[in-house]
């Protein structure tokens, strides 16, 4: 039952990913990506990590894709606008990056199989309590550093904007 559900969802995720890459319309691409993220959220929930699943929806669906859509709409994602500006090196770059990606995934799968990690056997490892405990004890320093980095990025964005305004 769980396996069947996983396979069906995985198929949806794959189709959405293909749709995102092949779609000619930027807004459609963003929507396919949204479907893909939603399926990931369901995967997390199936692995007993409800917290991660919900956060996945809040961060990616609730903020990042909305921002993508906002930018796409602002800079012109008009309906029917087909761009055929295939640059010369696109195919080569795609091939090289694709090969690298497949190698990375293959390595990951091989490692997982050889060490025989069973993720689903860890109940509540993705629960709020477990994640909160891990973040605020074992991984406190990296967690705070990451938040600092995000804050710095935000302040930097605002500062650049004001600099650009000054120069005008």
Partner 1 sequence: MEILIISIIKSLALIVILLTGFAYLTYYERKLLARFHVRLGPNRAGPRGLLQPIADAVKAIFKEEIVPDHVDKPVYLLAPALALIPALVAFAVIPVAPAMTLFGRTIDFAVADINVALLYVVAITSVGTYGVILGGWSSNNNYSLLGALRTASQMISYELPLGILLAAIVLSTNIGREMGTLSLHEIVLQDRPWWLWLWLWLAFPVFFIGVLAESNRSPFDLPETENELIAGFQIEYGGIKFALFFMAEYIHMITGSALMATLFFGGWRGPFVVPGTWHGALIGFGWLFIKILALLFLFIWVRASVPRVRYDQLLHFCWKFLTPLSIAYLVITAVIVVFAG
Residues binding partner 1 (CB under 8 A): 25, 27-28, 31, 34, 50-51, 54-55, 57-58, 61-63, 66-67, 69-70, 73-74, 77-79, 127-129
* Minimum CB–partner distance for residue 57 and partner 1 (Å): 4
The Cα 50–Cα 112 span in angstroms is 23
* Minimum CB–partner distance for residue 137 and partner 1 (Å): 14
- Asked if residue 12 lies in contact with residue 35, where contact means CB atoms within 8 angstroms, the answer is yes
- Asked if residue 24 lies in contact with residue 82, where contact means CB atoms within 8 angstroms, the answer is yes
Between 103 and 144, whose beta carbon lies closer to partner 1? Answer: 144
Cα torsion 108, 57, 33, 10: sign: positive
- Asked if residue 65 lies in contact with residue 33, where contact means CB atoms within 8 angstroms, the answer is yes
Element (H, E) at 79: none
Between 6 and 19, whose beta carbon lies closer to partner 1? Answer: 19
Between 13 and 49, whose beta carbon lies closer to partner 1? Answer: 49
* Minimum CB–partner distance for residue 43 and partner 1 (Å): 15
* Minimum CB–partner distance for residue 166 and partner 1 (Å): 21
- In eight-state DSSP terms, residue 89 is T
Between 18 and 104, whose beta carbon lies closer to partner 1? Answer: 18
Both structure tokens of 78: 């008009």
- Asked if residue 45 lies in contact with residue 124, where contact means CB atoms within 8 angstroms, the answer is no
* Minimum CB–partner distance for residue 41 and partner 1 (Å): 8
DSSP-derived 3-state class of residue 118: coil
**How many of the other CB atoms lie within 10 Å of CB of 117?**
10
Between 66 and 159, whose beta carbon lies closer to partner 1? Answer: 66
């Amino acid at each position: 039952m769980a396996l069947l559900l996983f396979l069906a969802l995985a198929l949806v995720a794959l189709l959405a990913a293909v749709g995102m890459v092949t779609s000619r319309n930027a807004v459609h691409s963003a929507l396919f990506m949204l479907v893909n993220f939603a399926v990931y959220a369901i995967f997390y929930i199936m692995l007993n990590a409800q917290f991660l699943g919900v956060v996945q929806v809040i961060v990616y669906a609730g903020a990042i894709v909305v921002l993508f859509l906002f930018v796409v709409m602002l800079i012109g994602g008009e309906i029917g606008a087909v761009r055929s500006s295939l640059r010369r090196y696109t195919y080569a770059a795609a091939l090289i990056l694709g090969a690298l990606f497949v190698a990375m995934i293959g390595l990951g799968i091989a490692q997982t199989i050889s060490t025989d990690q069973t993720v689903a056997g860890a109940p509540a490892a993705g629960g709020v309590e477990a994640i909160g405990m891990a973040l605020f004890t074992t991984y406190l320093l990296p967690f705070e550093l990451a938040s600092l980095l995000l804050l710095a990025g935000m302040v930097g964005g605002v500062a650049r904007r004001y600099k650009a305004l000054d120069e005008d």
